Structure 1
């Protein structure tokens, strides 16, 4: 049941709401019933969007009056248009009436999000809603070159959508002017908190005029987010939306199954899950980047159109995978949590947790990728033996009916019946069902940034594949790529290529072979004189008296020194070896230097 709780600034923290009202959303309502601009209504209708979702129906009447809002709803319930429509309606595009004499070209609205993928998706939704107006929307995030973003800001934009890091950079460089912003939106605020962006968010809000409208949306409301709202919002209206009869924190449209699968049998189970009837796009969440690469490769070898998505990929490669996923060229995305945050694709039917999630919030965000926009979805969680206690705790926190993880193998009958899998499904996809074009069918875009394609270079330690710097250097060092090799010294970036090292090694071996076989190096055979070895003399003293003078050079190495007991052949050889290790070379280029040997 949708619920709206308007309350004062003090009520945001934890105190009871001043006033509470509730009601259900009328399924016959349209966006036009909320006094939304006709051009926005037409643009949404052209995409088949006519009826608002509960969070939208509750948000629009308040937001269109310019009030501050704290929106709390489950992931995938349509928050974007809840703040996007008021944001667009209050903005003035070039050529439109401007009663407030706003400087056209300066950003009038700012939307801050935690990830690049979410920024791209939100900007796309805003462009869809403003298709009938000349509103200019700019998306800024890391991984792309600065120049196109700076050029767009210089030409003028009305709405800026971006991630905190790049927004701060552009603001410090004096390219992003937030002095004319009338609406500021913080989406997925709890995720920005988890990613450590709280300080950046505060800097951005401090740069925006105080008479702005602020809208904050979050699936959960941890303490720091409440403190942020108290500091930067003015008597916000707290809006929560949930469906009648659905008191759990997960969505009722998602079927949830939990299996206790053997580590070595997971890929076999997964191959059968991906052959379920009526399966659409699917996302498999992994704990590590290496796992994502390995599982995506295994599934591709079995005939599935799968691709990895994680932070080690360059931005161009990440966007290539997302475009291929949205366009249906691949239907399986193997992703880590951060990389997949903000994926808003309505056709995702299955979400799989390859490992037990770390906590209940991670589970909510993962499973929220399916069952979006009122559609049905399936969430499958694999729980290892050592994670049974953790899963039981998560299930209790989420209010799930069952906390048991059923022991499951790739041949278990309940696996096929639970997920509607054909009984003849095996570990590979039949060739007649391999109809997807694959990742390579989607072109990779050159974004002009330092990590636009391939794997992103790591900061410090070992370098990425695209780095041509060698050595165990600092931030720009690391082990180089194919042309890098180990550098000269641990802190230097320039490294020798493998070809150069191989050539030097071969030349060294040839010189050694020539010396051992003929007693002379190649230079001496060509008539060149050998380079003189540095000669040094040492004076040995005992109780202040000179005992012996030793010459460590190559010319005087033919005679062994005397020891305390006199001269002997063995003693001379031993001293020569000590002398060679301390100072000059004990072997001349022409022959042996052993003290007792013949010249």
Structure 2
């Protein structure tokens, strides 16, 4: 394979910059205020006030020209009119809700734990989740854009309820039988969820364990025998422990399925996937389904599988975060080109982007492991002296993959730069406040994946990020349409129910 060097002659790509930034409240989660601002962040800040009115327009909630293309798919159920739980009026597109944690029902212990974490006010989806999870709804679907605070949204009321039950006494406890189970698609996301849960429960008699393929089976079995309050697991590992008799769900009150849209995309029907959980759990178990994307046909399926399911939907569902600048790079230049030439042109554009945007943390998304390896080799040879090049995909042994991710997620020191070369594995809920640039080396296979990839930057309150989208041929028009919808404040999918 021949690679173009930065100085090689190649048709100049077309660059289109679309700013989807909006004004936000100044209060934010902890960040390194001493960190110098990158040039794109400065440009984005200048554009905030001009675009605030555009992004704060009320969201359309139906299909058609103003509300997104209808998700009418042959053979798929269509949703009935849902019962919607809202969290009050929209606050002009800001990250935080107008209500306080105390007003939505957070306990003094939870508020104290949040203060320790530097979190003073709830996001929109966190308010919606409190209202839903403290209600009598049999099941909940919780949705908002990536980086909106969904992990805290479901953990806060669940941990609070467990602490209140402990204080009241009479909790039915038994070895192997947790009170709450959280399922996540990757080991990395499981670790993140467990870390947040333990921070919220600090100071309370609270036991938790993570069940993934990256931890020893015997250690997990022994931890389960002690009777943890919370189990965080990947689905496969959880089912293995169930089959071996190491785990019982008959005392479980809630099963959370984080990033459930990924499970729904599986070829196996969702009802079949959750059947072992339903058989093992009691009849009163509540399912909490968490997602960044919820097309109408999927919501209709959830209504069939979970009668009476209640929706807690934030205003950013199917939208990118307001602090993101999207940059479209047409690498084909109007030419009809083969795959090898397409890679070379995108590689040339990637090199240029990384030299121009010298931010501390960049993620490069590829569709295939083979492409990840080619991009890794290119960057290691060309830029390896200037930055850490960290591959992250399923073909890498787990301990190396984990080490690479930990290195990438760590707080940047000095002028150190790192780039994560990855497949969509890194779009599955991996959370970092330091990612300022996301490059889509390969265009996404579907709009939902676009939302997840783009959501790795611009996270939290006041978060900013640059997204560079490298496209070829027919991808150009599709990418432009997605960006234009984002810029107009419209969702990439029609939203099946009213937003907050």
TM value normalised by structure 2: 0.71
CA shift for structure 1 position 276: 4.3
**1:167 paired residue number:** 238
Change (3 A) 1:85 1:95: closer
Structure 1 stretches of 4+ moved >6 Å:
none
Q: Deviations over 1:279-311 (max 9, x none)?
A: 232110012112212322322332221110000
Q: Is the 8 A contact 1:286 1:336 kept in 2?
A: yes
Judged with a 3 Å threshold, the aligned counterparts in structure 2 of structure 1 residues 285 and 157 are, in CA distance, closer, same or farther, namely same
- Give yes or no for contact 1:66–1:213 (8 Å, CA) kept in 2: no
The residue aligned with 2:406 is: 323
- Asked if the contact 2:85/2:132 (under 8 Å) is kept, the reply is no
Asked whether the 8 Å contact 1:113–1:188 carries over to 2, the reply is yes
State the Cα distance separating 1:360 from its structure 2 match: 1.0
Higher relative contact order (CA 8 A, sep 6+): 2
* In the alignment, structure 1 residue 264 sits paired with structure 2 residue 264: no
Pairing 1:272-291 to 2, within 5 Å after superposition: 272-276=352-356, 279-291=359-371
1:56 aligns with 2:143: no
1:483-502 pair list within 5 angstroms: none
Structure 2 equivalent of residue 540 of structure 1 = none
CA RMSD of aligned residues (A): 3.0
1:79-478 correspondence runs (5 A): 79-91=150-162, 96-103=167-174, 106-196=177-267, 198=270, 199-222=272-295, 223-224=297-298, 226-233=300-307, 235-242=308-315, 249-261=319-331, 263-276=343-356, 279-301=359-381, 302=383, 303=385, 304-327=387-410, 328=412, 331-374=418-461, 375-385=463-473, 387-388=475-476, 390-391=478-479, 394=482, 398=485
**Cα separation, partners in 2 of 1:339 and 1:250, compared to 1, 3 Å:** closer
What residue number does 2:81 align with? Answer: 16
How many Å separate the matches in 1 of 2:84 and 2:432?
A: 36
CA spacing shift, 1:54–1:95, aligned 2, 3 Å: closer
Q: Judge conservation of contact 2:79–2:299 (CA < 8 Å) in 1.
A: no
Q: Which residue of 2 aligns with 1:466?
A: none
- Asked if the contact 2:148/2:459 (under 8 Å) is kept, the reply is yes
376 and 18 in structure 1: CA distance in 2 versus 1, 3 angstrom threshold: same
Which consecutive residues of structure 2, in runs of 5 or more, have no partner in the other structure? Answer: 1-55, 62-76, 333-342, 490-500
> What is the deviation of 1:338?
2.6
Do the aligned residues in 1 keep the contact of 2:260 with 2:290 (CA within 8 Å)? yes
Rate the CA distance shift 1:299–1:151 in 2: closer, same or farther, 3 A. same
Secondary structure at the aligned position of 1:177 is classed as coil
Query: In the TM superposition, what is the alpha-carbon distance from 1:337 to its structure 2 partner?
Result: 0.8
* 107-116 vs 12-21, which moves further: 12-21
Using the TM superposition, give the Cα deviation of residue 368 of structure 1 relative to its aligned residue in structure 2, in angstroms.
0.8
Contact 2:329–2:471 (CA under 8 A) maintained in structure 1: yes
CA distance in 2, matches of 1:335, 1:158: 34
- Tell me how far apart the structure 1 counterparts of residues 481 and 99 of structure 2 sit (CA, whole Å): 40
**Alpha-carbon offset, residue 102 of structure 1:** 4.1
| CA displacement, residues 414-462 of structure 1 (integer Å, 9 cap, x when unaligned) | xxxxxxxxxxxxxxxxxxxxxxxxxxxxxxxxxxxxxxxxxxxxxxxxx
What is the CA–CA distance in structure 2 between the aligned matches of 1:19 and 1:326, rounded to whole Å? 36
Query: What SS is found at the alignment partner of 1:91?
Result: helix
Cα offset, 1:94, TM superposition: 11
1:69 is the counterpart of 2:137: no
Identify if the C-alpha distance between structure 1 residues 333 and 238 changes in structure 2 by more than 3 Å, giving closer, same or farther: same
Cα distance in 1 for residues equivalent to 2:306 and 2:427: 29
Task: Give per-residue Cα distances to partners, 1:6-37, cap 9 Å, x unaligned.
Answer: xxxxxx96223456765135756432333323
Alignment check: 8 A CA contact 1:285 1:354 kept: yes
Pair 1:94–1:23, CA change in 2 (3 A):
closer
CA distance in 1, matches of 2:82, 2:325: 34
Distance 1:59 1:275 in 2: 42
SS class of match (1:151): helix
Once the two structures are TM-superposed, the CA of residue 271 in structure 1 deviates from its matched residue by: 3.1
| Higher-Rg member (1/2) | 1
How far does residue 318 in structure 1 lie from its aligned partner after superposition?
Answer: 1.4
Find the residue that maps to 2:460 and give its secondary structure: helix
- Give the distance between the partners of 1:168 and 1:142, measured in 2 at CA: 12
Give the secondary-structure state (helix, strand or coil) at the position aligned to 1:348: coil
Partner of 2:114 in structure 1? 44
CA–CA distance in 1 between the matches of 2:176 and 2:85? Answer: 41
1:34 counterpart residue number: 104
